[in-house]
């Protein structure tokens, strides 16, 4: 089977915690990291500052074997950061603006994508939105949109416009409610949403309750988390889910099998601290299991 080229577009950043801890992340970066570990070699298109945080990101990508040719360096804007605080024990997030990933520039490296993944947070500024629009004119075979509504950095009209370019969309139940106000229960609204935007597939996540997959062919499948794995950190669970869904798309796995594998991987991720894992053996256990199932 010919390998399909996957391009991942959007933010990479550090979460800054009150105790001084820094955690590398950003949904597109997390997805690209997982896909690299699964042997997909994604082309990650983003931008960092000419600063120590940017150097750390580039070095981490090198060590993980990732392609850094799409990682740009901004001469004046700083690497993305999120200031995390806690109010009455609940986390609050200040997504600093502007930053380097708000000004991703176009280049020829993303012109031949078979599958293009992007979110919505990385499109809050004009420069990055224009660059994504240029990538879309290259007509990738599949566009996978991962909706991330982070107030105040989203506008409903802009997000809905993005959906018209997509074949696959991932969002959670709350995001579906915000974007689509049709009547009926959740399943009815999800099906209506899929049909309105002429999607091939809609992945609807429900947090601790699992996820559902709706397809244009009429499939409606659901999965539940693995309760045997203790939850350590839920950050990045959705990104883990998306990465395996993408893997299934480019490797032509059956949709129900892909959904179950995505849930199994997401369940394992929440058993670890952080959205990604730097131990390749963690990923290889899934690669070997999936190969034996084949």
Segment 127-143 shows an average pLDDT of 95
- pLDDT at position 18, please? 87
Q: What is the per-residue pLDDT across 8-53, written as a single tens digit (0 to 9) for each?
A: 999 999 988 888 888 899 999 999 999 999 999 999 999 999 999 9
Residue 232 domain-assigned? yes
Residue 6 contacts residue 250 (beta carbons within 8 Å): yes
Q: To the nearest whole percent, how much of the chain has pLDDT over 90?
A: 77
- For the stretch 69-117, pLDDT in tens is 999 999 999 999 999 887 776 667 899 999 999 999 998 777 789 999 9
Reported as a single tens digit per residue, the pLDDT across 246-267 is 999 999 999 999 999 999 999 9
Query: What range does the domain containing 223 cover?
Result: 6-277
Q: What is the mean pLDDT of residues 216-242?
A: 84
Residue 78 lies in a domain: yes
With CA atoms as reference, report the closest residue to 96 among 120, 119, 79, 73: 79
Residue 90, pLDDT score: 64
Domain of 41, CATH number, reads 3.40.1190.20
Decide if pLDDT at 181 tops 90.
no
* pLDDT at 192 (0 to 100): 95
Residue 65 resides in a domain: yes
Closest CA to 44 of 11, 14, 13: 11
Tell me how far apart the terminal alpha carbons of the chain are, to the nearest angstrom. 14
- Whether the pLDDT of residue 243 is over 80: the answer is yes
Where residue 273 falls among pLDDT bands split at 50, 70, 90?
Answer: confident
- Phi, psi values for residue 4, rounded to 5°: -85, 140
In a domain, 287, yes or no: no
E-only strand ranges, the chain: 6-9, 13-16, 22-25, 43-49, 71-74, 80-87, 90-95, 115-118, 142-146, 168-172, 201-205, 211-215, 220-223
| Residue 1 lies inside a defined structural domain of this protein | no
pLDDT band at 140 (very low <50, low <70, confident <90, very high): very high
> Is the per-residue pLDDT at 232 higher than 90?
no
Query: What is the pLDDT confidence band of residue 284, given thresholds at 50, 70 and 90?
Result: very high
- The pLDDT assigned to 146 comes to 97
Whether the per-residue pLDDT at 271 is higher than 80: the answer is yes
- Tell me: pLDDT of 182 over 80: no
Q: At residue 13, what are phi and psi to the nearest 5 degrees? A: -160, 175
Measured between alpha carbons, how far is residue 217 from residues 119, 213, 220 in Å?
Answer: 25, 11, 9
Please check whether residue 242 is in contact with residue 26, taking contact to mean a CB–CB distance below 8 angstroms: no
The verdict on residue 41 lying in a domain is yes
Query: What pLDDT is attached to residue 2?
Result: 65
**pLDDT for 272:** 81
At residue 230, does pLDDT exceed 90? no
Mean pLDDT calculated for residue range 274-283: 92
Task: Please tell me the total count of domains within the chain.
Answer: 1
Domain assignment of residue 283, yes or no: no
User: pLDDT tens digit string along 152-180?
Assistant: 999 999 999 999 999 999 999 999 999 99
- Helices 27-37 and 280-293 cross at an angle (nearest 10°) of 60
Residue 294 inside a domain? The answer is: no
**What pLDDT, on a 0 to 100 scale, did the predictor assign at position 63?**
98
Whole-structure pTM value: 0.95
pLDDT at 17: 84
């Amino acid at each position: 089977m010919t390998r399909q080229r996957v391009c991942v577009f959007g933010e990479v950043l550090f979460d800054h915690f009150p105790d001084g801890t820094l955690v590398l992340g950003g949904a597109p970066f997390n997805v690209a990291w997982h896909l690299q570990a699964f042997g997909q070699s994604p082309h990650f298109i983003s931008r960092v500052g000419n600063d120590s945080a940017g150097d750390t990101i580039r070095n981490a990508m090198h060590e993980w074997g990732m392609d850094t040719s799409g990682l740009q360096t901004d001469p004046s804007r700083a690497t993305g950061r999120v200031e995390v605080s806690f109010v009455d024990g609940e986390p609050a997030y200040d997504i600093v603006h502007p930053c380097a990933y708000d000004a991703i520039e176009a280049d020829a490296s993303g012109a031949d994508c078979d599958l293009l993944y992007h979110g919505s947070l990385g499109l809050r500024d004009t420069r990055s939105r224009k660059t994504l629009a240029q990538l879309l004119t290259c007509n990738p075979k599949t566009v996978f949109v991962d909706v991330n509504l982070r107030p105040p950095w989203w506008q409903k009209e802009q997000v809905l416009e993005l959906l018209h370019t997509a074949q696959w969309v991932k969002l959670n139940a709350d995001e579906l409610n915000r974007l689509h106000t049709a009547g009926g229960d959740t399943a009815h609204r999800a099906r209506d949403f899929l049909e309105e935007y002429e999607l091939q597939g809609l992945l609807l996540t429900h947090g601790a309750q699992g996820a559902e997959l709706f397809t244009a062919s009429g499939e409606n499948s659901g999965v539940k988390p693995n309760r045997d794995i203790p939850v350590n950190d839920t950050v990045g669970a959705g990104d883990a889910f998306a990465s395996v869904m993408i893997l299934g798309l480019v490797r032509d796995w059956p949709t129900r099998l892909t959904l179950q594998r995505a849930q199994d991987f997401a369940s394992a991720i929440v058993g670890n601290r952080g959205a990604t894992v730097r131990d390749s053996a963690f990923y290889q256990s899934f690669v070997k299991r999936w190969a034996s199932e084949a």
